[in-house]
Amino acid sequence: MECEAASDGMHYEGTCIRPPSEAMSILLQVTTGCSHNKCTFCGTYKDKRFRIKDNDMILSDILFASKYMKRQDRLFLMDGDALIIPQKRLLWILEQIETHLPWVRRVGAYANAKSISMKTPEQLAELKEHRLGILYLGVESGDDRVLEAICKGTSADKLVEMGRKVREAGIKLSVTVLLGIAGKERSLEHARATGEVLSRMDPNYVGALTVMLIPGTPLHDDYLAGKFELPSQRGLLLELREMIAHTNLSRGLFFSNHASNYLPIKARLPAGKQQALDLIDGALEGDVPLKPEWLRAL
């Protein structure tokens, strides 16, 4: 069957986000929203009900990209957790990408513990054969008490198991952790537990973001009610230091250069660990400048 490329552009719905490293990628929206949509700090998809988009619309966007996006060799499947799409349908999407966008070398998507657990190791390997090259997993914390408090819907052990499953399938794993998410009291326990989970999981990339309080989210409500207190700027640096000190990766990159952070760090672990700790110590002593509040953003 001959298909006509849509002339009216890509069919994006609502707020669309992608990881910073996918800024130059073709952004193909195959689902709307997030199938979990319960994390207390996250306001990203509050305006959307989760659904998988129609095959016709997905194909129309792929055909549009095949005409107008010939220079982009990476593609990111939006929204929340495209990996939750049933295997047969996800394979169909990847096959359409292979057929119509043969220059795309790597496809990426967000995933969560549930969507990874629903794929067998063989299914993940099959997706990898069809160019699914990287999955982005929100770990947020390695501390079970924090995971429960933020309604992450999973445990630290499960996150480790799922992260390892992705890596064993030959798919790159990029995870995010949240500075400040444990509040002031549990900050250092969260940092240590998170470092330990990262060490057991051994991802290719770790991005440490600072939690931002988004109006309308349960976490923001707790903050207004005095039930949640963010660590101070110094407290966040100590938390980052403790987390890095407890993180042992075989060859992963640890970033804290997101726009939400006070101190940008990019360290290849284990080699760059001491240098990163020294930089944080310099900031704690006031020798290294921090990003001013007005420059921080999501």
1 vs 14: CA distance, rounded Å: 31
Please choose, out of 8-16, 39-47, 51-59, 268-276, the segment that lies near ligand SF4 by the rule CB under 6 A.
39-47
181 phi/psi in degrees, rounded to 5: -70, -20
Q: Distance of CA 74 to CAs 14, 29, 105, 143, 178, Å? A: 22, 14, 6, 34, 26
Please choose, out of 40-48, 64-72, 177-185, 216-224, the segment that lies near ligand SF4 by the rule CB under 6 A.
40-48
Residues making up the chain, counted from first to last? 298
Query: Could you tell me the smallest distance in angstroms from the CB atom of residue 225 to ligand SF4?
Result: 21
Total of chain residues touching ligand SF4, rule CB under 6 A: 11
The residues facing 186 across adjacent strands are none
12 vs 156: CA distance, rounded Å: 34
36 binds ligand SF4 (CB under 6 A): yes
231 binds ligand SF4 (CB under 6 A): no
Give the angle 120-125-130 at the CA atoms, nearest 5°. Answer: 125
Query: Could you tell me the smallest distance in angstroms from the CB atom of residue 102 to ligand SF4?
Result: 31
Residue placing its CB nearer to ligand SF4 in the complex, 101 or 135:
135
181 binds ligand SF4 (CB under 6 A): no
For tokens 């799409």, name the residue: 85
Query: Could you tell me the smallest distance in angstroms from the CB atom of residue 33 to ligand SF4?
Result: 8
Query: Could you tell me the smallest distance in angstroms from the CB atom of residue 251 to ligand SF4?
Result: 26
**Radius of gyration, alpha carbons of the chain:** 20
Query: Could you tell me the smallest distance in angstroms from the CB atom of residue 19 to ligand SF4?
Result: 12
180 binds ligand SF4 (CB under 6 A): no
Residue placing its CB nearer to ligand SF4 in the complex, 19 or 138:
138
Residue placing its CB nearer to ligand SF4 in the complex, 36 or 74:
36
For 135, the enclosing helix (H) or strand (E) is: strand 132-140
H helices within the chain, ranges in order?
55-68, 87-100, 113-117, 121-129, 144-149, 156-168, 187-201, 218-224, 233-245, 273-284
112 binds ligand SF4 (CB under 6 A): yes
137 vs 298: CA distance, rounded Å: 17
42 binds ligand SF4 (CB under 6 A): yes
Site string for ligand SF4, 75-94 (x = CB under 6 A): -----x--------------
Q: Which residues bind ligand SF4 (CB under 6 A)?
A: 34, 36-39, 42, 44-45, 80, 112, 138
